[in-house]
Structure 1
Amino acid sequence: MTANLVSNMQVYSRKKAADHSAANAVAGALDAPLERSCVEKDRIVIAPELAGIERIEARFHGKGFEPHRHDTYALGVTMAGIQTFRYRGEARFSLPGNVIVLHPDEMHDGGAGTDDGLTYRMMYIPPERFLPVTAKRGRTLPFVAAPVVADPRLARLLLEAIGSMDAAIEPLKLDEMVEEIAAALLDHAGVPQARRGRLARAEVLKACDFLRENLSQQVSSTELEAVTGLDRFTLARQFRQVLGTSPHRYLVMRRLEQAKGLIAAGESLAEAAFASGFADQAHLNRHFKKALGMTPGRFAALAGGRAR
């Protein structure tokens, strides 16, 4: 077997794996509540504004938009069909699972590439939201040369943020998402990863203590900065390096632990949700099933409690 043939087979295998991962991300997103908006007629679903970030889901047949430009980063995922647009003087095409990266003040249009139509989800992030991340790395705002990229991890991250269109996102979670999105864009822009310095174990443990003591509160990044002395982006990175998770994920899991204890003790699901810091019972249900693989009601039945 020649070296060229081996190389070609390796490239093909990597592409198939990436396509499969991207397809899984899209399939998972289509199980979310927004699935009901993916209908045949053309439409745009606009989510409530989220700290200056706009989120939409759109479906079009034919041309959707004439040439225009935004003063934000337009980041999204092609969900179904072929997405076509002209950008920086060239015709572009995006297949389901691909990520779209359009930079501020760049002219572009958009539409469906086939008669089957197009569905995509997009979020519009003001550039200033990325400034703290880029300043920490000593970089300017990221410029990704390719407007269509195959990045299953970034696609999942965007779909998680965009897909929560009918539910609130906690400030701590939003800060983490913006930081991760900015870091991914810097990676695609060719910015080298920052060197790993000392592990801030003491500061991370202080944050853990604070989060456990405030499970029923809406904890902000500003509060964690005051407690640890680290800025929110450094703390998020240190949290992942020390504990393998994010501050918000840590908070959610501790809330679930408390809720489980209350439910097993016979508390109603609504009372357990409220006492553990969840917005409501539906909020508890989503996180409980995602983390534990069953609903709180099912857990109550198995644990001997009574779901009320």
Structure 2
Amino acid sequence: MGDSLFRYDEGLQMEAHFFKGLKPAFPPHFHEHYLFGLVEEGARTLFYKGCSYTARTGALLAINPGDPHACQQLGPEATDWRALNVPPAVMEALAQELTGSGEAPLFAPPVIWDPELAAEFGRLHQLILEGSGEFEKEELLLFFFDRLLGRYSRPISLAQPESRAEVERACDFIRQHYTEHIALDDLCAAAALSRSSLLRAFTRAKGVTPYRYLQSVRVERAKALLEQGAAPAEAALAAGFADQSHFHRFFSLFIGMPPGAYREIFFQK
């Protein structure tokens, strides 16, 4: 992986990431936050909800919390990529301020071609990376999300598809027991489905396998612990990873950087 820059903005309560010379593929995974991105150079193929999208230079990306996605390099050239991670509570507060509705929005499509918004996002992202204390940053944030919400969002109550109750029971079981060793038979018992039926229904509803869902939940929990200053070994154990190599592999695959480097962002604050 090429050079990377990261900053957590205390005032805005969001993370800015800049990946330069990005080549590795990201396997199917999800985040508990909103992910907004801008391709500055290069091209990636995004796999999202059973479809593939091409994200070339100038493309904006908007990925909703919990939506599985994957991407890989398109062509020989590496990609320069800006990303902004926005917690759901922060997004809801922005929606309340800008639209009068505090309901969490869903954005579509995941790849957006809008030069005006792309330019605003790039400027906002750069100000966050620089640690700007000027109110221009807050101004740009509100202008960007006002236009993004108006053009590309729907209320979650109208846009979110229904999931099978059996699959939701399996997800609940994973979230309650992610620190423990979980067997496939445990999930089948929680969902009241056979192994083959559960795997088919779960993958169809969530876009990832139950095991990938479990690892995503564990990585998200480990992220929260690292942000609070926990050592990687401590975070791995508390999140349910069996060993450090397993933790390092999945964290780096899903987040794009090793857990120790991620912790340093917050430790240095």
TM-score by length of 1: 0.44
The structure showing larger relative contact order (alpha-carbon pairs under 8 Å, at least 6 residues apart) is 2
More strand by share: 2
> If you compute each CA radius of gyration, which structure gives the higher value, 1 or 2?
1
